[in-house]
Amino acid sequence: MLVCGKYNLVYEFFDRVKQKSIPGALNYKVLVNALWREGKIDEAVMAVKDMENRGIVGSASLYYDLARCLCSGGRCKEALLQVEKICKVANKPLVVTYTGLIQTCIDSGSIENATYIFKEMCNYCSPNNVTCNIMLKSYVDHGKFEDAKDLLENILNGRIRSKADLGQQAVADKFTFNTFLDACAEAKMWNDFEYAFREMLSNGYHFDERRHLRMVLDAYRSGKEQLLEHIWDYLCHNGRVPPAAMIMERFCLKLRQGHTTAALSCISSFEESKIGSISSKSWSNLLNRNADLLKEESIAKLVHELDDLSRPGSSCHSLYENVLSSCTEFLGGSGGKAASDGRMPLCNS
């Protein structure tokens, strides 16, 4: 009856049981859930009081459901009183109880109430990763970027722990970092993005090309050159081949800096990778997009170095020939402009 939404039948059945005998805790639990689903919070509270007045010991799940019912109506202080009753009748982990109440507040559309429960939780038990990730995601979804940032910093600095249980603390996991990185990229908060990305790598989580590449390149194009270098060093140190788009961007960065040997090394070190299939047109687009930052003497010097490498019979003739062709075209001033949105496709052929 409850599952099918036949709440009137639930009430009728409860009244019949009440007339013939004393309803049990399970009967009251079903009644509370029916009242909750219909938004009859006061009636749910009265039902539990009636149960207690009859001397019936409520189950932990009944008080938990009543607490969530109260949270859904914004009555968080009353909900927290039910936690004490839960502790008296069962060994249900407090972290599970509080997390459930937080989720109920969020589902009801109140991040403020969720924050209140979260702060109260920290007085009695240590929030775990699940709790923290729920809060972090909710802050992000509700546009509370600074709150999300503060929470991440508190997690990383070991400040998310219970005053009553200092031995336990939450730690940032893959979901934590990805949620915050997505929020940073969306808001174009590149300083925070760089901080979080470095922390992610230092905490043992890996660069995921499919998930992270576009954001990293956007950060780089917004001035985060050191982040690109950091990720490059990380990938090389771990024996991983950088994505083709990253190789091209670092190649251009070194060229902009006048380090032609380093630029050439970017592509020669990974000539057997996907970089070998990049067309001369894509290389031209890259150069044209950075035209205002490139010096002709650097391009000319690179052309001189490429001449020897691009001769037929060399191990990677096609790659060097494509780069040489784009550089020659660039110097001749006949290269086309980059795409109107300023972006280079992640994978060109």
Domain extent listing, the chain: 1-125, 255-349
Spatial distance between the Cα atoms of 57 and 278, rounded to a whole number of angstroms: 72
Question: Which tokens hold the place of 102?
Answer: 């937080």
The pLDDT of residue 297 is above 80: yes
The reported pTM is 0.85
Quick: pLDDT tens for 51-110: 999 999 889 999 999 999 999 999 999 999 999 899 888 777 889 999 999 999 999 999
Which alpha helices (H) appear in 108-224, and where do they start and end? 111-121, 129-141, 145-156, 174-187, 190-202, 209-221
In our burial notation (b when 16+ CB lie closer than 10 A, e otherwise), range 102-136 reads bbbbbeeebbebbbbbbebbbebbbbbebbbbbbb
In our burial notation (b when 16+ CB lie closer than 10 A, e otherwise), range 310-324 reads beeeeebeebbbbbb
Better pLDDT: 164 or 140: 140
- Please state which architecture CATH assigns to domain 1-125: Alpha Horseshoe (1.25)
Residue of 73, 147, 79 whose CA lies nearest to 117: 79
The pLDDT of residue 224 is above 50: yes
pLDDT of residue 345: 40
pLDDT of residue 172: 95
Better pLDDT: 3 or 300: 300
Q: Taking residues 312-320, report their average pLDDT.
A: 67
Quick: pLDDT tens for 246-280: 999 999 999 999 999 999 999 988 877 788 889 99
pLDDT of residue 334: 45
pLDDT of residue 189: 98
pLDDT of residue 17: 84
pLDDT of residue 245: 95
Spatial distance between the Cα atoms of 299 and 303, rounded to a whole number of angstroms: 6
Tell me the pLDDT band of 125, cut-offs 50, 70 and 90. confident
Q: Taking residues 106-115, report their average pLDDT.
A: 96
Instruction: Kindly report which listed range (72-86, 199-213, 287-301, 321-335) carries the lowest average pLDDT score.
Output: 321-335
Q: Taking residues 208-235, report their average pLDDT.
A: 97
Question: If residue 68 lies in a helix (H) or strand (E), which one and from where to where?
Answer: helix 60-72
The pLDDT of residue 41 is above 80: yes
| AA identity, residue 55 | G
The pLDDT of residue 314 is above 80: no
pLDDT of residue 324: 92
Q: Which residues pair with 165 in a beta bridge?
A: 162
Spatial distance between the Cα atoms of 107 and 120, rounded to a whole number of angstroms: 19
For CA atoms 151, 153, 155, 161, the dihedral sign is: negative
pLDDT of residue 316: 59
Beta carbons of 9 and 1 less than 8 angstroms apart: yes
Percent residues over pLDDT 90 in the chain:
70
Percent residues over pLDDT 70 in the chain:
89
Spatial distance between the Cα atoms of 176 and 71, rounded to a whole number of angstroms: 25
For the chain, give the mean pLDDT.
88
